[in-house]
């Protein structure tokens, strides 16, 4: 059974913010500037992600919130408006 979380953050430092944003982008979709929807296959994967977040943040200056989203809640999702967040595309110049 997959585990889905809505993860939000308020990070004071630009470098830490970028690091946490990149980490979350590797695990889920950015739905707002500091909000991600992350689905991972196991509880152990969620615990590992939590540890990675803890290691990248400053506990005195930053805050990350993880809201579990049970399946029935996801079925009732309502999105108002068409604005999309453009994801940064990694590319190579040769």
Distance CA 34, CA 9 (A): 6
Residues 20-45: tens digit of each pLDDT: 999 999 999 999 999 999 999 999 99
What CATH number should be reported for the domain whose range is 3-75? 3.30.70.240
Radius of gyration of the chain (CA): 14
The residues spanned by each domain of the chain are: 3-75
pTM over 0.75: yes
Per-residue pLDDT tens for 43-83?
A: 999 999 999 999 999 999 999 999 999 888 878 888 788 87
């Amino acid at each position: 059974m997959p585990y889905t979380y809505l993860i939000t953050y308020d990070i004071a430092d630009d470098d830490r913010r970028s690091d946490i944003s990149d980490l979350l982008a590797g695990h889920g979709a950015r739905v707002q500037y500091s909000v991600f929807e992350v689905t991972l296959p196991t509880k152990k994967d969620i615990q590992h992600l939590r540890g990675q977040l803890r290691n990248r943040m400053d506990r005195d200056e930053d805050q990350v919130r993880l809201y579990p989203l049970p399946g029935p809640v996801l079925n009732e999702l309502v999105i108002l408006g068409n604005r999309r967040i453009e994801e940064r595309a990694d590319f190579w110049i040769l």
